[in-house]
Structure 1
């Protein structure tokens, strides 16, 4: 719950701005702006991940003061420390999802999640049971899955085509922010 409140829900809320910006840009024929907006959102979320990572890395004293059981507080802080590695993938997936949805490609993210869910279950089995990492295997699995989802989005687009990513990651657009 701590991860959802301090990172995942705010990231989803911020990425929701892309629903309006990207769909209007795509609908008006300004397809280049769709990529630019998504690129900038990824950078904003990446920048926000730094203070969140610091908060999560040093969450143990907070958990110790809030939770009555010391062992639970320590396990919660360990979970968050490993989950730090999931933050960039989550942000990239949220922006990438909006990139596709602005182009009326709603099923792609469903397909990716349908593939990601059993992969996550396999990672859980591997890390928790097979490699016998126990509790720590769970956040490792989450981090791997969260980082795999945006890669699967890109792979889907590359394999099945229909979408141009050539507007993403152009350095000249990083300097032309207008407020």
Structure 2
């Protein structure tokens, strides 16, 4: 038998059911969306994570200023105290949480990212809460940052920052 090969299917594509489909990579190799970057006076929305649902929260970066420990009745900072005023609003149809304490990190220049939210208070309403649809609170978060400037990112437990705040250089 001339022209025969050992496999009669050598040039025939296998049936579609036996071809494995290529799936997009998941995890660190997949391109991540960058967090919205807020300067004073700007706002952005993000999907707040919870154990079972996602809610859309809007955060407005109202103000930022550097203060002394005596101005906020606090102990000695590791760096310097900064107070950021935020307005947090639940624009979604489900409950959503905003918990800055332990979930905010400062970065700047050649310094490694480090946690900066403190439990000190300026006496304003606490923005650390679970928000029902339509609820809104404006209040301060006291940070202990290494130096003026840099950025402070809020991590909502998703692995990547949900929001980034540009801190004033002065």
- TM-score, with normalisation over the residues of structure 1? 0.22
Structure possessing the higher relative contact order (Cα contacts under 8 Å, 6 or more residues apart): 1
- TM-score, with normalisation over the residues of structure 2? 0.22
Q: Per residue, is there more helix in 1 or in 2?
A: 1
Indicate the structure (1 or 2) with the bigger Cα radius of gyration.
2
